[in-house]
Amino acid sequence: MEHLLEIKDLYVVYKGDDALVRAVNGVDLTLERGETLGLVGETGAGKTTTALAIMRLLPDRIGFIEKGQILLDGNDITKASDADMRVLRGSLVSMIFQDPMTSLNPTIRVGEQVGEVLELHHKELGKEEIEKRVDEIFTLVGLPPERKTDYPHQFSGGMRQRIVIAIALACQPQLLLADEPTTALDVTIQAQVLELMQQLKEKLHTSTILITHDLGVVAETCDKVAIMYAGEIIEIGTVEDIFEGGAHHPYTEGLFGSIPDLEKKERRLHPIDGMMPDPADLPEGCKFHDRCPKATERCASQPPAMYRWGTHGIRCHLFGEEPDKL
Ligand code: SF4
């Protein structure tokens, strides 16, 4: 079966005046239809850059896809023209950003902002039909349709995020990229927005990549988890593979405080001693070696491969030669 999303050996760089920042370094990822993947890691691990590359929204003249393929429903995003991307964005893939105010135009009524997306992708629809669809989408995300003539500043943070979700879902994209969609919201509203996303996933069968620091959210809402460090996926698996005992990457063990536990549902990543390496000056060997309590001499010079057992993969020399350790 064809995957909805297949990322193969993706490298993304940011070119500055005197530095080359290596933000994504050889990411491989697949996502099936209707599946939710949690993308987890510290700030600067490459999660948002991966999402922006899928959207082809890397900063102009600074961010570049250096190598690799992004196949979305059979379309190679890395080769699509800007005109093709304008069509694919919205109809095939949409993104929800952390702060709803950055995605909304403060001077345009919210209903018009949802309607604009429909007009762009459904030129065959007349004015009345668009109005009807806007009302339906408002109802779908739990907003009263009569408020479509209000401006963004007239809504609370949680309602604004619902409007952003309405815009993202207006054309029923097959893939939704949600970058910390609830971080700017208070806890009660966070729960409501996550529940809404879950309901929409069931109704519309949308696939989602959820970028988050919140491991509790991952345990509750995701099917698969990928953990990123210094632009690489260092562990990947089903929620059970990652949250249940057994073998884990030393970085994952550090993140979860100890061995992850699906029952305990850790809510936050634990800080690990040291800093992530400078992406403009990445070390040789394993990128985690100067923070890793299990590092050996080999780790400083040889980059580890991703070793896979069924659905579970770990990028670490410790698992390379002794798979029965698992
Ligand atoms: Fe630690 Fe070495 Fe494994 Fe890297 S390869 S995580 S340094 S043991």
Alpha helices in 125-282 (DSSP H): 127-140, 157-169, 187-204, 215-221, 239-243, 250-255
Give the position, in ligand 1's atom list, of the atom nearest the Cα of 298.
2
| Cα distance between residue 147 and residue 159, in whole Å | 11
Give the rounded percent of residues in the chain with a pLDDT score beyond 70.
93
Q: Is the pLDDT of residue 321 over 70?
A: no
Question: Which of 317, 319, 321 to mutate to test ligand 1, by most ligand atoms within 8 A of the CB atom?
Answer: 317
Task: Tell me the mean pLDDT in the region 282-286.
Answer: 95
Ligand 1 pocket, residue 247 CB under 6 Å: no
Q: Which of 18-27, 101-110, 214-223, 245-254 has the highest mean pLDDT?
A: 18-27
- Predicted confidence (pLDDT) per residue in 12-65, tens digit: 999 988 899 999 999 999 999 999 999 999 889 999 999 999 999 999 999 999
Strands 224-229 and 232-238: antiparallel
pLDDT surpassing 60 at residue 324: no
The preferred substitution site among 233, 307, 318 for testing ligand 1, maximizing ligand atoms within 8 Å of CB, is 318
Residue 92 has what pLDDT? Answer: 92
pLDDT for 323 equals: 46
The listed range with the strongest mean pLDDT (1-5, 24-28, 88-92) is 24-28
Residue 267 binned pLDDT confidence (cut-offs 50, 70, 90): low
Q: Can you tell me whether residue 231 is helix, strand or coil? A: coil
The protein residue with its alpha carbon nearest to ligand 1, atom 8, reads 295
Provide Rg for the chain, Cα atoms. Answer: 21
Q: Is 316 in the pocket of ligand 1 (CB under 6 A)?
A: yes
**What pLDDT was estimated at residue 187?**
74
Q: Judge if the beta carbon of residue 104 lies within 6 A of ligand 1.
A: no
**Structure confidence at residue 1 (pLDDT):** 59
pLDDT of 259 reads 43
Distance 297 CA to ligand 1 centre (A): 10
**pLDDT mean over 115-139:** 91
CA-to-CA separations, 174 to 32, 34, 36, 90, in angstroms, rounded = 10, 8, 12, 9
Which residue has better confidence, 73 or 268? Answer: 73
Query: How high is the pLDDT of residue 91?
Result: 86
**Could you tell me the strand order of the sheet in which 75-76 lies?**
20-31, 5-15, 63-72, 75-76
State the pLDDT at residue 158: 85
Helix, strand, coil tally for the chain in percent (to 5): 35, 25, 40
Enter the tokens of residue 103.
């995605």
For ligand 1, atom 5, the nearest C-alpha belongs to 316
Q: Whose CA is nearest to atom 7 of ligand 1?
A: 289
Q: Report the predicted TM-score, pTM, of the whole model to 2 decimal places.
A: 0.89
What's the pLDDT at 14? 97
Is 295's C-beta closer than 6 angstroms to any atom of ligand 1?
Answer: yes
Output the CA 282–ligand 1 centroid distance in Å. Answer: 15
Distance CA 69, CA 71 (A): 6
In the sheet where 232-238 sits, what is the strand order? 93-96, 175-179, 207-212, 36-40, 224-229, 232-238, 312-315, 306-309
Mean pLDDT of 156-163: 88
Q: How many residues does the chain have?
A: 326
Q: Is the dihedral of CA 49, 51, 54, 59 positive or negative?
A: negative
Report the pLDDT averaged over residues 162-171. Answer: 89
Ligand 1 atom nearest to 293, measured from its CA: 1
CA of 303 to the centre of ligand 1 (A): 9
Ligand 1 center to 163 CA (angstroms): 44
Residue 130: the pLDDT is 95
Q: Whose CA is nearest to atom 3 of ligand 1?
A: 316
- The model's pLDDT over 174-221, given as tens digits with 9 standing for 90+, comes to 999 999 887 777 777 777 778 888 887 888 889 999 998 888 888 888
Mean pLDDT value across the chain: 88
Atom of ligand 1 nearest to the CA of 294: 8
Residue 258 has pLDDT above 80, yes or no: no
Query: Per-residue confidence at 123, pLDDT binned at 50, 70, 90?
Result: confident
Judge if the beta carbon of residue 286 lies within 6 A of ligand 1.
Answer: yes
Q: Whose CA is nearest to atom 6 of ligand 1?
A: 316
Q: What is the structure's pLDDT at 326?
A: 43
Quick one: how far is CA 184 from the chain centroid?
16
The atom number, within ligand 1, closest to the CA of 250 reads 6
Q: Specify the ligand 1 atom closest to the Cα of 287.
A: 4
